[in-house]
Chain A
Amino acid sequence: MNDFIIFTDSSCDISPETLGEWGVSYSSLTFTFDDSEKQFTNDEMSAVDFYNKMREGHSAKTSAVNVESFVKSFEPHLSAGHDVLYLGFSSGLSNTYNSGRIAAEQLRISYPERKIIAVDTLSASAGFGLLLYLAVQKKESGASIDETASYVRDTVPHLCHWFTVDDLDYLKRGGRISPTVAFIGKALGIKPVLHMDNEGHLINMSKVRGRKASLDALADKYGQLAEDPENGTVFISNGDCAQDVEYLSNVLHDRYNAKVKLVTYVGPVIGAHTGPGVLALFFIGKER
């Protein structure tokens, strides 16, 4: 009845082991350092090593997954008789989803009897991961591919991404943030509080003074927006800043009795644009 597989890409920042447990297949985005041609995937370099390289001053660039690669990845599942639900990285930040969508269109011609559904999650990092986790649960509860896809689409506008970065220069350099708000990093110690909007773009919402204030501001947003603060599923991803993760988890617990279900690293694909010290909180809210 629900003989389909969920397919994703590596920007969901869920470890290969966990994805394996969830029964999710994936394609990898790649990254390179400085002007080198050598391409890496998340599986080939640990997040800690990656951030240490960034701290040394190396800059990383990322590449989207191309159409060809998706075709190659989807095809074995289709020929084995499985339908494919592809959940893709926000089209507001990468061409990866578009490649997956084109691949799906092409394959529909070769496999007219199979369902291939591509959903733009308009999400990133462990927010994307959280959506994936919920989709897997939906599937396990017996939902069909169509039901799962429409559940995901309905959940997208409620998937809150709230995050802060230690150094705004990375976002500015990567052009991943609109220039009208780029002036905010001028004063020393100013930290932005950002989120991902309904179109999957990174938006600066406010600026606060000091790291701790920025972490508190993330907790404030949780209090304002979380649909079920006590029992909702909460994911956190981070750019190698375990202490701050602990601080935020404690604040969430003390204030809202919230439990953080999963802590992951922000992988290189996103990390290349945020730099070390990024800390992101994901949950289901009344609105994004």
Chain B
Amino acid sequence: MFKPKKKAEITENKKEPYNLKYLGGWLMAKMAFGGAARLRSNTEEVNRLNVFPVPDGDTGDNMRMTIESGIAAIEDLDSDDLAEVMKVFSHGMLLGARGNSGVILSQFFSGTAKGFEGTDKADPSTLGRALEMGVKQAYNSVMTPTEGTILTVAREAVEYAVSSITPQSTIRSFFSDLAKEMHESLKRTPESLAVLKEAGVVDSGGAGLLYIIEGFNNVLNGEEVSRESLQIQAPAKAVSVRMDFDSESRMEYGYCTELMIQLMKYKTDVDAFSVGPLREYLAGIGNSIVAFKTDSLVKVHVHTFEPEKVLEYCRQFGEFVSVKIENMSIQHTGLADHDHDHDDEEAEPKQYGVVSVSNGSGIESLFRELGADEIVEGGQTRNPSTNDFLDAFRKINAKTIFVFPNNSNILMAASQAAELYDRSSVIVIPSKSIGTGYAALSVADFSDPDPEAIKKGMIDAMSSVVSAYLSPTVRDALINGINIKKGDIIGVIEKSIVLASPDCREAAGSLAEKLVKDNGKTMLTVFIGKDTDDDEVSDVKNEIEEKCPGCEIYYIDGGQEVYPYLFLAE
């Protein structure tokens, strides 16, 4: 929790507006606190500003978690130096940034922080110049900046606030101007961006930013930020407390069980062996399941209370190359004793590592089979943070790491992590869907010593790919002239909704047909999601095959959440 240790000038004005000529570190920290609190109480409001009527990446949550990561960083900071406070605050945001709006927000504050460098306190003009740098950095962080978004809202508001500066200006009047224009600019976003107008909403990222600035103003107007409104969750820290397991202990966590099985010809058909039934069996006795086959070896990971069953079951198919069973209560302690990072540093780094974002056990296994070393959990509704990527990078000891964000709203957090990481060269493959990431990774030739050549091969493979998906809907909408009823299944090709139907089978067939024919494609890959039933899947397959004669069609048990079917046409 934020605890100002020096009560300096700000407390003198308690319950009074701050009519200050200068912004210092203490006040800035307190304002950041207020901004986070105001966003937090309006998170759902921001989440609802959703262009598509589908369960989607939640901008409000992403921005809230991003700023809270900044708040957590300055909690214990004992400083009234504006530059220092902003530096620590924005660095925390950079690490915690999630989703594109979170990344842009963190870049905005990071640029602003740079504008304060060497300044322990700022007058309105200095403040304006710093914010202009923030706007500039925010624009630079986006490959092709789109107007009518958080970028426009920030830029127009800063321009207005700077142009309104007079000798009489105070910090409060400056931020008041900023909020006033931000509000106006936000209202104009549907005029610049057709998708907003059609959906009848204003830009969600811009709205999130406005709430933050309003929170700043609340503090400047003397409002106290209640502690209850800001229950910041501290970032998980490495467990370093010894948790002894003795004769009195209760078996709480089960065993982390890892096996490598050499499939044996006399026990099973090695070529035809599929991990599907194994995975099903493991799901019955444990969780955190990973099982994949590489040539004639099968790697298994499961958390279970019954490791003996895993051994017995697996031995039907082969013999163990290695077995590791760890009591997970003790494993926690083990982490403190064993510095994994340290071990890695001593080993010779391998040439290439791969980090992939994935959701769904099928898709995770798929990416692992294709060579992914680390999986960052996430997807459309859960955008991982920059820090999640950094954690994954740290677990890989490789000269070059390829990252597959597999979602357009995760791309920026991955890129930000790539820039912040310095122990390996990190190459982000800009995959905007699971399908494109899969297509790219499947052609990777890791025997090539030139990482740029590998990257090029993957980008080429992605360039001919068109992605599509079916999604359930959460509200009525009229988009692209398509009348969508809540509960319909909608078909989306790339970013456009192209059809809606109450019938999944029909939607799948029509979407596949449109995808293949309109784009002149000859190959279709379909990822089947978690919440589908077998009868429906077989109907859907028949329908797709009927609608796409002569097309090479592959089905993959993706197990992804939210979307029942993902499509990839090539």
> A180–B271 Cα gap in the complex (Å)?
17
- Say yes or no: B442 contacts A187, CB within 8 Å: yes
Give chain B residues whose Cβ lies under 8 Å from the Cβ of A107.
Answer: none
Interface: B44 (CB within 8 A)? no
> A264–B424 Cα gap in the complex (Å)?
51
Q: Which of B313-371 contact A (CB under 8 A)?
A: 366, 369-370
Interface: B525 (CB within 8 A)? yes
- Say yes or no: A187 contacts B438, CB within 8 Å: yes
The residue that A209 contacts in the complex, of B295, B366, B442, B556, with Cβ under 8 A, is B442
Contact of A209 with B271 at beta-carbon distance under 8 Å, contacts A187-B370, A188-B556, A189-B554 already known? no
- Say yes or no: A190 contacts B443, CB within 8 Å: yes
Give chain B residues whose Cβ lies under 8 Å from the Cβ of A207.
Answer: 442-443, 445
Nearest B residue to A206, CB-CB: B445
Give chain B residues whose Cβ lies under 8 Å from the Cβ of A187.
Answer: 366, 370, 438, 441-442
Interface: A173 (CB within 8 A)? yes
Cβ contacts A193-230/B at 8 Å (1 or 0 each): 00000000000001111111100000000000000000
Give chain B residues whose Cβ lies under 8 Å from the Cβ of A213.
Answer: 464, 523, 570
Interface: A241 (CB within 8 A)? no
Q: Chain B nearest CB: distance from A99 CB in Å?
A: 31
Most central of A180, A189, A190 by chain B CB within 10 Å: A189
- Say yes or no: A190 contacts B442, CB within 8 Å: yes
Q: Chain B nearest CB: distance from A141 CB in Å?
A: 44
Contact of A212 with B522 at beta-carbon distance under 8 Å, contacts A189-B552, A207-B445 already known? yes
Interface: A38 (CB within 8 A)? no
Interface: A181 (CB within 8 A)? yes
Contact of A209 with B522 at beta-carbon distance under 8 Å, contacts A186-B370, A188-B556 already known? no
- Say yes or no: A208 contacts B443, CB within 8 Å: yes
Q: Chain B nearest CB: distance from A216 CB in Å?
A: 10
Nearest A residue to B462, CB-CB: A209
Give chain B residues whose Cβ lies under 8 Å from the Cβ of A180.
Answer: 447
Q: Chain B nearest CB: distance from A125 CB in Å?
A: 24
Give chain B residues whose Cβ lies under 8 Å from the Cβ of A208.
Answer: 443, 461
Give chain A residues whose Cβ lies under 8 Å from the Cβ of B23.
Answer: none
> A210–B464 Cα gap in the complex (Å)?
11
Nearest A residue to B440, CB-CB: A209
Q: Chain A nearest CB: distance from B429 CB in Å?
A: 15
Interface: A75 (CB within 8 A)? no
Q: Chain B nearest CB: distance from A206 CB in Å?
A: 7
Contact of A169 with B523 at beta-carbon distance under 8 Å, contacts A209-B442, A209-B461, A210-B570 already known? no
Q: Chain B nearest CB: distance from A191 CB in Å?
A: 10
> A173–B271 Cα gap in the complex (Å)?
9
Interface: B412 (CB within 8 A)? no
Contact of A211 with B552 at beta-carbon distance under 8 Å, contacts A180-B447, A186-B369, A186-B370 already known? yes
> A181–B444 Cα gap in the complex (Å)?
12
- Say yes or no: B443 contacts A188, CB within 8 Å: no
Interface: B82 (CB within 8 A)? no
Nearest A residue to B439, CB-CB: A209
> A63–B439 Cα gap in the complex (Å)?
39
Nearest B residue to A212, CB-CB: B522
Contact of A210 with B443 at beta-carbon distance under 8 Å, contacts A169-B271, A186-B369, A188-B556 already known? no
Q: Chain B nearest CB: distance from A68 CB in Å?
A: 34
- Say yes or no: A209 contacts B447, CB within 8 Å: no
Q: Chain A nearest CB: distance from B178 CB in Å?
A: 50
- Say yes or no: B523 contacts A209, CB within 8 Å: yes
- Say yes or no: B447 contacts A186, CB within 8 Å: no
> A182–B211 Cα gap in the complex (Å)?
55
> A190–B441 Cα gap in the complex (Å)?
11
> A45–B513 Cα gap in the complex (Å)?
41
Cβ contacts B56-80/A at 8 Å (1 or 0 each): 0000000000000000000000000
> A169–B270 Cα gap in the complex (Å)?
12
Cβ contacts A171-190/B at 8 Å (1 or 0 each): 00100000011110011111
Q: Chain A nearest CB: distance from B464 CB in Å?
A: 8
Q: Which of B500-534 contact A (CB under 8 A)?
A: 522-523, 525
Nearest B residue to A204, CB-CB: B445
> A186–B525 Cα gap in the complex (Å)?
14
Q: Which of A155-180 contact B (CB under 8 A)?
A: 169, 173, 180
- Say yes or no: A210 contacts B370, CB within 8 Å: no
- Say yes or no: B522 contacts A210, CB within 8 Å: yes
Give chain A residues whose Cβ lies under 8 Å from the Cβ of B445.
Answer: 206-207
Q: Chain A nearest CB: distance from B296 CB in Å?
A: 11
Give chain A residues whose Cβ lies under 8 Å from the Cβ of B457.
Answer: 206
Give chain A residues whose Cβ lies under 8 Å from the Cβ of B556.
Answer: 188
Cβ contacts A86-103/B at 8 Å (1 or 0 each): 000000000000000000
Can you pick out 14 interface pairs between chain A and chain B where the beta carbons lie within 8 Å of each other? A181-B447, A186-B442, A188-B554, A190-B443, A206-B443, A207-B445, A208-B461, A209-B461, A209-B464, A210-B570, A211-B522, A211-B523, A211-B552, A212-B552
Cβ-closest 5 pairs across A and B: A187-B442, A210-B523, A188-B554, A212-B522, A189-B554
Excluding A187-B441, A189-B552, A209-B442, 13 further A-B contacts by CB distance (< 8 Å) are: A186-B369, A187-B370, A188-B554, A189-B442, A189-B525, A189-B554, A206-B457, A207-B442, A207-B445, A209-B523, A210-B552, A212-B522, A212-B523
